[in-house]
Amino acid sequence: MNLTFKHPANTTLELHRQSFHRALNIEPGTTVVCEKGLLWLTQAEDTKDYMLEAGDKLVLNHSGVLIEALSEAGLSIVYPN
pLDDT at 54: 98
* Dist CA 53 CA 16 (whole Å): 15
Non-local CB neighbours of 47 within 8 Å, separated by 6+ positions: none
pLDDT at 33: 97
pLDDT digits (tens, 9 = 90+) for 11-58: 899 999 999 999 888 889 999 999 999 999 999 889 999 999 999 999
φ, ψ for residue 14, nearest 5 deg: -115, 130
pTM equals 0.86
pLDDT at 12: 94
Domains for the chain: give ranges and CATH numbers: 18-78 (2.60.120.10)
* Dist CA 45 CA 61 (whole Å): 10
